Structure 1
Amino acid sequence: MTEDLVDIVWNGALSGSFDAAGLSGRWSIDDGEHAQLAVLARWVQRGRSRAGWKVGLTSGAVRDAFGPGVRPFGFLLQERVFESGATVGLPRMSRAGLETELCFRAGRRLAGADLDTGEVERSLSWVAPAFELNERRIDGPQDPGVRVADNLTQWGVVVGAPVSPLPDRAVLARSAATLSQDGQVLETVAADGHIDDHYLSIARLAAQLSRFGRAIEEGDLVITGSFAARRNGLEPGEYAGAFEGLGEVRVRLVEA
């Protein structure tokens, strides 16, 4: 990893896009994680704070896209955590996308490579229906290392009402998410066979973070992967994500 490459990704984070043509083959996934954390450090230097983490490549066709069990992390910025019902301007995001996800809150610090899913479950405060807001910043080759450096398209998150205590694990395993726009159903996706076990994903996240001297800290938010989504050509409107047995999240996306 070199500083000039971090500069490219950082400038893309500020502007909403960057040309990746010259980056092909130059970064491993680990290089990408180091670069991503360097970008996070620059946000912190500007007075921003980290709200939590995302676990990447846990669902659908992208599972194992970087190799069996490879689940890279991304970070969430506090200033881009919105409550359900918020209005967000589409121009704030370049080539915006939206995904229905579940968001968990850590009730205590989770660190290291030896966490089991039971320990993870006992350490979480709540779960909530959520939207991940995405920004497709990369122009050119979509190398794994570059995608990780670019924070896996993460831009923000909208969080619904917390559910606490956590529901039975079987509820999460069989839940389905329905995405609607202005009252019209766009897609319904069930968890079964589609997404990794959420507690396993969080354990993997803690293990991956530990390799870079990081951890899931008490109070961190963690999003664990996409259900129903709209990734291209996102239009203005009122979007709702309803999770069976867990509630609903809403966001209004506007052109202003």
Structure 2
Amino acid sequence: MSTWDIDRAATVLLEAEDTRTDRAAITEEWPGLDLTTAYAVQDETLRRRLERGEKLTGVKLGLTSRAKQQRMNVASPLTAWLTDAMVLPAGDPVAQDRLIHPRAEPEIVFVMRDRVAGPGVTAAAALAAVGSVHAGIEVIDSRYRDFKFTLPDVVADNASSGCYVTGPVGRPPEALDLALEACLVEVDGQVVDSATGAAVQGHPAEALALAANDLGRRGHAIEPGWVVLTGGMTDAVFVPPGAKVAAHFTNLGSVFLAGG
């Protein structure tokens, strides 16, 4: 067995994704994997995605809500990359043939008008750079068995990225009270969870600033036109084949997802 390094971890994670094969957390075999190295693995997987033709379209935050942190036994939010291959067109079913164990969570989504570069970005400055706000559903899909991992594991795995869909309603941020923006989650017509934007770091703009500052420390910025998924408002719900998931927002409309 070869020793673990950034190259091997990136290879293992992308192969698990491509073959829909889950595995034990990397830290079970590489206990020395720390957060800095995990982000280097994440960046290497992005480099390989771009090399195979994907386009970088934005960033996502993970574990921004207390519900998700408690479920995953992880105490800190994290950032990860979005590419065009992760976009799920509205009305399309979840691609069950490319995911291992998909789970859906409602999100407040920002589309950026201006560049935001940390460190030192405040929530107010971050929100002022937003062009429009949308409802969204992210479908996460960990490469780790039973969604069991440490913080470095999930960072290396690009924050359990799968795919996402955004709603057709776009509102300017100044027209909304995002801390109070409420959401109901339905599975097959039954309400299974609810939350407000305050579940996301107290306000989704705080999550946006966190992302800008985290990326700034790593030499990156949030660019104009990028999509930013601010993190799941509720716990994630499993999406079995055929299930219908809906997220209904107060002012941002509804987003629908078919299980495939």
TM (normalized to structure 2)?
0.87
Aligned-pair distance for 1:235?
A: 4.2
| Contact in 1 for aligned 2:200/2:207 (Cα 8 Å) | no
Q: Distance in 2 between matches of 1:28 and 1:85?
A: 39
Q: Give the aligned CA root-mean-square deviation in angstroms.
A: 2.1
Kept in 1, the 8 Å contact 2:25–2:144? The answer is no
What are the within-5 Å matches in structure 2 for residues 24-39 of structure 1? 24=28, 25-39=31-45
For residues 1-256 of structure 1, the aligned pairs below 5 Å read 1-20=5-24, 23-24=27-28, 25-63=31-69, 66-67=74-75, 70-139=76-145, 142-168=149-175, 171-192=177-198, 194-196=199-201, 197-232=203-238, 234-254=240-260
Distance 1:82 1:232 in 2: 17
Deviation digits for residues 129-170 of structure 1 (CA, Å, limit 9, x no counterpart): 10001112113861221111001111111010242322445x
Q: Which moved more, 1:138-147 or 1:91-100?
A: 138-147
Q: 1:15: Cα distance to partner? A: 1.9
Is 1:104–1:124's contact at 8 Å kept on the other side of the alignment?
Answer: yes
Alpha-carbon distance, 1:62 to partner: 3.8
What amino acid does structure 2 have at the position aligned with 1:166?
A: P
Measured after TM superposition, the shift of residue 202 of structure 1 is 0.8
Q: Secondary structure at the match of 1:83?
A: coil
Query: 2:24–2:145: 8 Å Cα contact kept in structure 1?
Result: yes
Q: Give me the whole-angstrom Cα distance separating, in 2, the residues matched to 1:105 and 1:112.
A: 18
Q: Per-residue displacement from partner, 1:196-242 (whole Å, max 9, x unpaired)? A: 11111111101111222211111110011112344436342332111
Amino acid corresponding to residue 172 of structure 2 in structure 1? P
- TM-aligned CA distance change 1:22 to 1:49, over 3 Å: closer
Distance 1:30 1:180 in 2: 37
- Seen in structure 2, the aligned counterparts of structure 1 residues 96 and 66 have a Cα distance that, compared at 3 Å, is closer
Aligned length: 250
Quick check: 1:126–1:162 contact (8 Å CA) kept in 2? no
Structure 1 residue matching 2:178: 3-state secondary structure: helix
- Cα distance in 1 for residues equivalent to 2:200 and 2:191: 21
Separation in structure 1 between the aligned mates of residue 126 and residue 26 of structure 2, nearest angstrom: 40
**Matched residue type, 1:17:** T
SS in 2 for 1:208: helix
CA distance, structure 1, for counterparts of residue 230 and residue 190 of structure 2: 26
State the identity as a percent: 24
Task: Give the distance between the partners of 1:118 and 1:22, measured in 2 at CA.
Answer: 37
Contact 1:71–1:205 at 8 Å: present in 2 too?
no
User: 5+ residue gaps in structure 2?
Assistant: none
Q: Are 2:99 and 2:141, in contact at CA under 8 Å, matched by a contact in 1?
A: yes
Q: Shift of the alpha carbon at 1:250?
A: 1.1
Question: What is the CA distance between 1:20 and its match in structure 2?
Answer: 3.1
CA contact (8 A) 1:8 1:18 kept: no
Residue segments in structure 1 that go unaligned for 5+ positions in a row? none
- Normalised to the residue count of structure 1, the TM-score between the two structures is 0.89
Q: Supply the AA of the counterpart residue of 2:230.
A: T
- Aligned partner of residue 194 in structure 2, secondary structure: strand
